Amino acid sequence: MRVALLIVLSLLWALPTQAGDARVTIHSARPFGYFVGDLIRARIEITTSADATLAAASLPRPGPLSVSLDLKAVEIHATTIGAEKRWDLDLVYQNFYVALDARNIEIPGFELHFGDETVLIPAWSVGVAPLREIAPAKQERPEDYLRPDSPTFFANETQPERLAITFGALSILVFGAVARDRAWPPFQRRRERIFNALARELAAKAHAGHDALPGAIQRMHRTIDGANGGTLLGEDVSTFLARRPEFASLQSSFDRFFAASRGEFFSEGKADTYGFAELLDFARALARQERAQ
């Protein structure tokens, strides 16, 4: 019976109603299927004479209409069509009715005033539906009302254990390599890679150009002194290389460096032939020989 009523309402939904000389037609997005919280949008078309004037105070005001229905928005648009004027009244309602079954709720009517003429907008209905069933379907056994337990899945932990052991071993090897490179215990007896640190330091200052050359030369002197175990002068380079044969292939670079240092700090006319780039190459060559040990 309820289904038949809904069908009849849907067929008659857009039929116009008469109110004096005005004609009223109610349109809705759909006549049924609304849940609690849904917005119900409707357009009411009122056709009047072209000289009719709507009293704005007669328009419905947004706000609660009942305990379960609110009017959220009201918009009116007028269009002149020949000797008539069509008024499109757009209304947005919000449903707060918590339905326990499918049923109709009434949207209350109201009156609009066009000069001396009063146009009645009749009440109309929409169908609402529940969000869930009131009671579950009847079962023969009480335990059938319960959802069955999810099956138990057993994970194979062999592969994760192997991966954990592999990554752990790799981590230890990597840490050991870093410790040896930095001369951390138990590798503290290995000579510290001071030229490697110097090469990184000078590379970070490479953008400074020739202005950073005096300070870089002094830094190279201190590093060579550290490798020698004391101050190293240009005349003692051969003795140093005899004790540190890993650097013997760079004797010409040592000689050029000490000559450039004397020219930088003790000559009035500084030579521009020895630049920061060549000093950086010398530091990197020393670092390579140092790492080879």
Residue with more model confidence, 104 or 21 = 104
Answer for the pair 31, 13: CB distance below 8 angstroms, yes or no: yes
Give the mean pLDDT of 247-274. 80
Residue 134: which of 106, 104, 103 has the closest Cα? 103
Residue 246 has pLDDT above 90, yes or no: no
Is a pLDDT exceeding 60 seen at residue 3?
A: no
Q: Give the separation between CA 176 and CA 182, rounded to whole angstroms.
A: 10
What residue segments make up the domains of the chain, in order of their start?
A: 2-128, 176-291
Tell me, yes or no, if the pTM score tops 0.85. Answer: no
Window from 158-162, 178-182, 265-269 with minimum mean pLDDT: 265-269
Q: State the distance between the two ends of the chain, measured CA to CA, in whole angstroms.
A: 98
Query: Is the pLDDT score of 11 beyond 80?
Result: no
Percent of the chain with pLDDT over 70: 86
To 10 degrees, what angle do helices 251-266 and 276-291 make? Answer: 140
Mean pLDDT of 211-237: 86
Identify which has the larger pLDDT, 105 or 138.
105
pLDDT band at 193, cuts 50/70/90?
A: confident
* Percent of the residues in the chain that have a pLDDT greater than 90, as a whole number: 33
pLDDT the model gives residue 209: 63
CATH no., domain 2-128: 2.60.40
Give residue 54's pLDDT: 92
For residue 82, the model assigns a pLDDT of 87
Diameter over CA atoms, the chain:
123
> Does the pLDDT of residue 207 top 70, yes or no?
yes
Res 24 pLDDT > 90? yes
Query: Hunting for tokens 């890679």 — which residue is that?
Result: 193
Pairing of strands 69-81, 84-95: antiparallel
CB 122 within 8 A of CB 17: yes
Q: Name the 3-class secondary structure at 187.
A: coil
pLDDT score of 71 = 96
Q: Whole-number mean pLDDT of the chain?
A: 83
Mean pLDDT, rounded, for 182-203: 75
- Rounded to an integer, the average pLDDT of 236-255 is 89
Tokens of 115: 């000069």
DSSP 16-75: -EEETTEEEEEEES-SS-B-TT-EEEEEEEEEEETT--B-GGGSPPSEEEETTEEEEEEE
What's the pLDDT at 271?
Answer: 52
Dump pLDDT digits (tens) for 42-82.
Answer: 999 999 998 899 999 999 999 999 999 999 999 999 999 88
* Angle subtended by helix axes 213-228 and 251-266, to nearest 10: 130
